[in-house]
Amino acid sequence: MAAFKGLIIKEFKITQYFFITYMILLVAAIVGGYSFTNYIDEPKLFSIGMLLMILAHFFYLPLYLLTSLNIEGRTQLWLHNPNSVLKLICAKLIPGLIFQLISLSLSILIAIILIKQFNFFIEDFLIINILMFVSIFLGSIYVSIWVLFYWTLNYALSRILHIKSFRWLFIIFIWATITTLATYIRSHSLYKKIISLGEIKLNIIPFEMKSNTDYGFYEIFIHVPQEFSFIPFLLYIMTALLIFFVSAWMLERKVEV
């Protein structure tokens, strides 16, 4: 346990500049956007910008993980490490999740404050915020695992001298094969019947932001899915676990641990 804590602390140290830089840019974007929209008397633009900024957190963890993995690839800090590959990977994901949680929570909190300031009205406000937070958070984890897979695949192929120079062709082929197979499965009638078995109605009012301010009346409308199925959710979990362990296995073959 002490060794695992040490790995997490090391990860915090080597990626703290990424987090600090991102937070500075985030605060600068919020302050700059707020000042600009006040200057041109268009609060709607800032509201749209905040919504896009929150949605952009979907890519936060994948970019964080990619940055951390590239650092490991350059410095070879994993070589001769006595810990298992699973511990090494988890030690990277945990700080990234914490950083994302802080950034996403801060962005949503600022958005809530500004929504009240601009007199925006949103029906089912709490439910929509929870769904948005959970969707971005879980979706980011899923994409990050695929980033780990392709990075590991690239790293493993780079160690094979005969295909090192054109390994990107193999990666594109594998990506195209996986994408085609996933598309075929999702379009199959049997798959559609299976996911319909666990489907439930949400009955959530579509995301509709209204504001009646001194600047005029504004309205933003975003469609919210009215059905949710647990079957695809379980399939995504199984896929993520499979890809995660395959990545760990490939990395363990190429990194001396």
pLDDT in tens, 206-232: 555 544 444 444 555 555 555 666 777
**pLDDT confidence of residue 241:** 93
List pLDDT tens digits, range 109-168. Answer: 877 777 666 655 555 556 667 777 888 888 999 999 999 999 988 888 877 777 778 788
Q: Tell me the two tokens of residue 161.
A: 């001298």
Burial 31-63 (b: 16+ CB within 10 A, else e): eebbeebeeeeebbebbbbbbebbeebbbbbbb
List pLDDT tens digits, range 41-95. Answer: 666 677 777 777 788 888 888 988 888 888 777 776 665 566 777 888 888 888 8
d(CA 2, CA 175): 38
Q: Tell me the two tokens of residue 233.
A: 């959710």
d(CA 157, CA 165): 9
Main-chain phi, psi angles of 222, to 5 degrees: -130, 130
CA angle (129 as vertex; 126, 132 as ends), nearest 5: 150
Secondary structure (3-state) at 112: helix
Looking at the chain, how many residues does it have? 257
pTM given for the model: 0.77
**pLDDT confidence of residue 146:** 93
Q: Which residues are bridge partners to 218 per DSSP?
A: 211
